Homo-oligomer: A and B are copies of this chain.
Amino acid sequence: MRIGIIGVGVVGSGVVDIIEQKQKEWAALGVTVEIGGICAKSDVELAPYKAKNYRVTTSADELINDASLQAVVELAGGYELPRKWITQALQAGKHVVTANKALLAKYGHEVFPLASQKKCHLLFEAAVGGGIPIIRSIQEGMTGNQIERLSCIINGTCNYIMSQMSQSDLSFEDALKQAQAKGYAEADPSFDIEGIDAAHKTAILASLASGHRVDFQRMHITGITGVQAQDIQYAKEFDCCIKLLGNFRRVGERIDARVHPCIIPNDHLLSGVNGVLNAVYLECNNLGATLQTGAGAGKLPTASAVVADLVSLERSLGGRAPISMEWFNEGNNAELMSIADLETRYYFRFTTKDACGVLAGITSILSKHGISIESILQKNVKDPGKVSIVVLTERSKERDVVAALKEIDCLSAVSEPSRMLRFL
């Protein structure tokens, strides 16, 4: 198989490295992957590849229109150009491998049905969970199951920040600075810390798990910027930790898909997944619970997933039909459950004046809204005359919680907006 590679940034250069590394070994197994062209924006980026006698070009069209190439690997990033290239490549009957989760979350409903129509493979293992073979596991390993629930730690930047806040008692700001210093967070980290990247990936996983297109723009998304060091410390006192999770669940005919920080009991498999690791936890009707974890980002992990797709593609060219993703279209949008319909356990933290009757005021409002308290913890805080009241609830309804917190925040003894976290 001859391929063209568009984009030789971090991941693309890793793909070339690994192909060079493994080519001989594959040949012995009858697998041939040959780089027939490399495209990048500038001659500077292309220079090292030109020096190694690869055919190089700054024109993606040149690769897409080259009849000698059977597949195009899109690793350029961004939305609009990749959308155009992938569409053109599929229309030209070329198979496509991409790591572009943003593109698939946004335009998957265009490119997946087009791939099916053209009987082309459109592979995207590297788009979710970096090098963890989670797409393959769901698409091929779980065909004998129905996935009932999925929870994922799918953004390494956020998981690093939350882990550092917990393990080194850092504030959010300091943990973010550390992540930036280590290269785990961008200079402008908003895409990660606001949960957008996690939402792209969760939408893709929730789509695969449900067989309906999950539109990430209609999902509930809360990032990690509102998680405070105190909440992490209190979570520890209840033998829990806090992580940003993408969640998927079937609720009758509807799909519950959302991204927000969750409290996780420390005996849950996901609680041990720290640092920049990613993890996907599945509950399936036949298999039960399963977890896959590993590096969710980085040059070689992500590149190794792209390469796995290339080998799989090469093996399939003898005539294996592509796995159909035709169902990933707008006519088959998932009916998403509103977050207001959620029912789960909650963590609240109230900062109040240290005065008589405050606790009674809060608990009576919770009770009025039908929210039962499971545990309660009152602590003095640094600020003299103030206390923290931490409440863990029994299963409660999100709409009741929102109403109760709104009412509590109006109490004169309550000095800061109350904090709320949902349990896994």
The 3 closest A-B pairs by CB, nearest first: A319-B319, A133-B141, A144-B307
* A167 smallest CB distance to B (angstroms): 10
Question: Is B321 a contact of A318 with CB atoms below 8 Å?
Answer: yes
Roughly how many angstroms separate A52 CA and B324 CA in the complex, as a whole number? 31
Flag if B294 contacts A140 (CB, 8 Å).
no
CB nearest neighbor in B for A211: B25
With a cutoff of 8 Å between Cβ atoms, the chain B residues found around residue A18 in the complex are 144, 286
- Could you list 24 examples of A-B contacts with CB < 8 Å? A131-B145, A131-B290, A133-B137, A133-B142, A136-B136, A136-B141, A137-B292, A140-B311, A141-B308, A142-B304, A143-B307, A144-B303, A144-B306, A285-B300, A286-B304, A290-B292, A290-B295, A291-B291, A291-B294, A315-B321, A315-B323, A316-B316, A318-B319, A319-B320
Q: A185 → chain B, closest Cβ, in Å?
A: 19
CA distance A240 to B31 in the complex (A): 43
Question: Which B residues lie within 8 Å of A289 (CB)?
Answer: 294-295
A58 CB to closest chain B CB (Å) equals 27
- C-alpha gap A300/B287 in the complex (Å): 6
Q: Determine the distance from Cα of A298 to Cα of B319 in the docked complex, in whole angstroms.
A: 35
Distance, CA A320 to CA B137, complexed state (A): 19
Instruction: Tell me whether A293 and B269 are in contact in the complex, defined as CB-CB below 8 angstroms, given that A22-B144, A136-B137 are known contacts.
Output: yes
Pair A315/B320 contact, Cβ less than 8 Å? yes
* A408 and B420 alpha carbons, distance in the complex (Å): 60
Question: A356 within 8 Å of B by Cβ?
Answer: no
Q: Give bound CA distance, A157 to B296, whole Å.
A: 32
A133-B144 in contact (CB<8A): no
Known: A269-B272, A290-B295. 8 other contacts (CB 8 A): A22-B143, A136-B137, A137-B292, A144-B306, A144-B311, A288-B294, A292-B292, A318-B319
Please tell me if the beta carbons of A288 and B144 are within 8 angstroms of each other in the complex. Answer: no
Once the chains bind, are A312 and B140 in contact (CB under 8 Å)?
A: yes
Assess the B315–A287 pair: CB atoms within 8 A. Answer: no
CA distance A272 to B291 in the complex (A): 12
The count of identical subunits is 2
Quick check: is A301 within 8 A (CB to CB) of the other chain?
Answer: yes
> Which residues of B sit under 8 angstroms from A285, Cβ to Cβ?
300
Out of B22, B140, B293, B315, name the residue touching A290 (CB < 8 Å): B293
| One of B144, B303, B316, B320 near A304 (C-beta < 8 A) | B144
Q: Which residues on the B side are within 8 Å of A300 (C-beta)?
A: 285-288
Residues of A163-178 contacting chain B, CB below 8 A: none
Residues of A bordering B, CB below 8 Å: 14, 18, 22, 26, 29-31, 125, 130-133, 136-137, 140-145, 269, 272-273, 284-295, 298, 300-301, 303-308, 310-312, 315-316, 318-321, 323-324
**Residue from the list B29, B133, B142, B144 in contact with A324, Cβ < 8 A:** B29
Assess the B295–A131 pair: CB atoms within 8 A.
no
In the complex, how many angstroms separate the beta carbon of A351 from the nearest chain B beta carbon? 33
Residues of B within 8 A of A323 (CB): 315
Of B142, B304, B311, which is within 8 A of A308 by CB?
A: B142
Question: A291–B292 contact, CB under 8 A?
Answer: yes
Residues of B within 8 A of A320 (CB): 315-316, 318-320
Assembled-state Cα–Cα distance A31/B290 (Å): 25
Determine how close the nearest CB of chain B comes to the CB of A152; give it in whole angstroms. Answer: 14
B269 and A311 within 8 A (CB): no
Please determine whether A286 and B131 come into contact, CB atoms closer than 8 angstroms.
Answer: yes
Question: Judging by beta carbons under 8 Å apart, are B308 and A144 in contact?
Answer: yes
* Chain B residue contacts of A287, Cβ below 8 A: 130-132, 294-295, 300-301, 304-305
